[in-house]
Amino acid sequence: MRVVRFFPVALLMLLNACTLGPDFQRPTLTTPTAWKERGDWQPAQTAVPPAGEWWRVYGDTTLDALVARVSVDNHNLAAAEASHRAALAAVLSARAALLPSVGADVQVTRSRGAQNSGNAVTAGGGSAARTLARVAGSMSWELDLWGRVRRSVEQAKANAAASAADLDALRLSMRGAVVSTYVSLRVAQAERRLLDDNVAALRRALEITRNRYRVGVAARLDVSQAETQLAGTEAQALDVGVRLATLEHALANLVGVAPADFTLADGATLPALPAIAASLPSSLVERRPDIIAAEQRVAAANADIGIAEAAWFPTLSLGASAGFQHSNLIDVMSLPYHFWSLGPTLAGALFDGGLRKGQKAEAVARYEQSAAQYRQTVLDAFVEVEDQLATLRVLADEAQAQARAAASAAESQHLAEHQYKAGTVSYLTVVTAQTNALNAARSALEIEGRRLLASAALMQALGGGIAQ
């Protein structure tokens, strides 16, 4: 009856249970009101893709297919997804402590003990063998009076949310790596086409020079210079092949296949430079998965403080068991042989040598560490966006200047070739003009590739997608 009277008291204590430790609040941040480096930069306008599919702004179906493959076949992503499933399972494990634990057992034993005769104990046949049959169930339940279990669940949820954000961050990184590698590969292919076209033009120029030498119009030095120019350009074209091979192998690795099983056909054009509308800096905190992961780790560390504080208070557990026990297995379920027990257990540490004090101090320090790391993650994100905005803004002006330089160099080459045929300049002038024209064209192509890479980096820095 005393045990029965205990239940209202235990229920009242449970209903009035408190949750120790501070409730989580996002660490305070100072965010700028606008981007410093945006300026008057206006990129080329393209259609806006569906939300989250930021790579589609490049208008390249081959790139779209590669990104789809990396989402399915990349082994690093598969590992991260498994890690996230483990974090979700940890939430279920933590929640289980909120509910009673119920067990059952069936036991049959047969034993024979020594015979006790007076003060002497003798082994042997005087005592009969006995059979004991037991069927029982048990229940134990720790009442979460101080919120230790609830904080543990809160911590597990925060870790699972951080794991999900880590997975999103890795997915964003892998997709960004595919875009960057693909762009670099297309730029290298365009550079090789440029060099191949230049080689073809130099071969024609060499043939003309040889014909002029045969008829005595040109000197042997002119032929040697033309041959040198041709061989050097052919070497440059061959050297691009190394870069093409390594970039193609990198793409194969990203989509989860061996290089021998992956080939990318030559592309006729570069991807289109997309339009990117940078959102307000304050929205970056909600968009970037690495920032979200850092915030959730702060929440997990905050919950750990509550767990450490709850360790100072005693734990209250309810235990119960019931069953049947008899020497005859057939009759064991009879009511006369029934037994049961029910009662609370209150347990707590009286002295631990400073263990709990140290654990709380450690939890507080880890919270402060994670909060500082969160603020640094946000600051790093601001810097990344500003860097790419500045890069795109400056490269837009540089591209215009380099386009003018390339046009002037091409015109100079054309004039030098005509003047050489007219005999008014030496072939060295032609070689110099050819070199300048090729270098200017390659520089213009390089700048275009850098603009594409910066656009991909900016979209990654913004957290993926196009912020309108």
Is the CB of residue 177 less than 8 Å from the CB of residue 253? no
Buried b (16+ CB within 10 A) or exposed e, 228-246: ebbeebbebbeebeebbee
pLDDT average, residue stretch 275-287: 78
> Would you place residue 211 in the very low, low, confident or very high pLDDT band (cuts 50, 70, 90)?
very high
Quote the CATH superfamily of domain 31-100+143-315+360-461.
Outer membrane efflux proteins (OEP) (1.20.1600.10)
Each residue's pLDDT tens digit, 214-236? 998 889 999 999 999 999 999 99
Query: What is the token pair recorded at 218?
Result: 């040109």
Rounded Cα distance between 263 and 456, Å, is 23
Residue 342: exposure state from Cβ atoms within 10 A (0-12, 13-18, ≥19): middle
pLDDT of 411 above 80: yes
**Which range is least confidently modeled, 115-124, 185-194, 313-322?**
115-124
pLDDT average, residue stretch 245-259: 93
> Would you place residue 48 in the very low, low, confident or very high pLDDT band (cuts 50, 70, 90)?
very low
Query: What is the token pair recorded at 273?
Result: 């430079």
Structure confidence at residue 300 (pLDDT): 94
Structure confidence at residue 31 (pLDDT): 84
Rounded Cα distance between 163 and 276, Å, is 29
pLDDT of 238 above 50: yes
pLDDT average, residue stretch 437-464: 93
pLDDT of 174 above 70: yes
Rounded Cα distance between 384 and 181, Å, is 19
Query: What is the token pair recorded at 59?
Result: 């208008």
Domain coordinates of the chain in residue numbers? 31-100+143-315+360-461
Q: Comparing C-alpha atoms, which of 378, 163, 408 is closest to residue 286?
A: 378
The string of DSSP codes covering 154-212 is: HHHHHHHHHHHHHHHHHHHHHHHHHHHHHHHHHHHHHHHHHHHHHHHHHHHHHHHHHHH
Is the CB of residue 268 less than 8 Å from the CB of residue 447? no
pLDDT of 130 above 80: no
Structure confidence at residue 136 (pLDDT): 81
Structure confidence at residue 286 (pLDDT): 85
User: Between β-strands 130-143 and 115-117, what pairing exists: parallel, antiparallel or unpaired?
Assistant: unpaired
pLDDT average, residue stretch 145-169: 90
Q: Comparing C-alpha atoms, which of 228, 245, 229 is closest to residue 192?
A: 245
> Would you place residue 44 in the very low, low, confident or very high pLDDT band (cuts 50, 70, 90)?
very low
pLDDT of 42 above 80: no
Q: Comparing C-alpha atoms, which of 390, 443, 421, 293 is closest to residue 40?
A: 390
pLDDT average, residue stretch 444-455: 95
> Would you place residue 39 in the very low, low, confident or very high pLDDT band (cuts 50, 70, 90)?
low
Q: Which residue has the higher pLDDT, 187 or 318?
A: 187
* Kind plus residue range of the DSSP H or E element containing 321: strand 315-326
Structure confidence at residue 8 (pLDDT): 52
Q: Comparing C-alpha atoms, which of 304, 309, 315 is closest to residue 142?
A: 315
Structure confidence at residue 337 (pLDDT): 65
Query: What is the token pair recorded at 32?
Result: 């700028």
Using DSSP, how many helices (H) and how many strands (E) does the chain show? Answer: 9, 6
pLDDT average, residue stretch 51-75: 86
Q: Comparing C-alpha atoms, which of 4, 24, 27, 7 is closest to residue 15?
A: 7
Each residue's pLDDT tens digit, 132-146? 778 888 888 888 888
Residue 372, phi then psi, degrees to nearest 5: -65, -40
Q: How many CA atoms lie within 13 A of 123 on its CB side?
A: 0
Query: What is the token pair recorded at 268?
Result: 């006729």
For all residues of the chain together, what is the average pLDDT? 84
Query: What is the token pair recorded at 450?
Result: 């850098």
pLDDT of 121 above 70: no
> Would you place residue 429 in the very low, low, confident or very high pLDDT band (cuts 50, 70, 90)?
very high
Each residue's pLDDT tens digit, 263-272? 988 877 888 8
Alpha-carbon torsion, ordered 384, 87, 20, 145, to 10 deg: 170
> Would you place residue 3 in the very low, low, confident or very high pLDDT band (cuts 50, 70, 90)?
very low
Q: Which residue has the higher pLDDT, 120 or 435?
A: 435
The string of DSSP codes covering 80-129 is: HHHHHHHHHHHHHHHHHTTS-EEEEEEEEEEE---EEETTEEE-STTSPP
Structure confidence at residue 468 (pLDDT): 36
pLDDT average, residue stretch 150-159: 91
Q: Inter-axis angle of helices 148-214 and 75-96, to 10 degrees?
A: 170
Place of tokens 């119920």: 102
pLDDT average, residue stretch 438-456: 95
Is the CB of residue 271 less than 8 Å from the CB of residue 63? yes
Place of tokens 């229940």: 139
DSSP 49: P
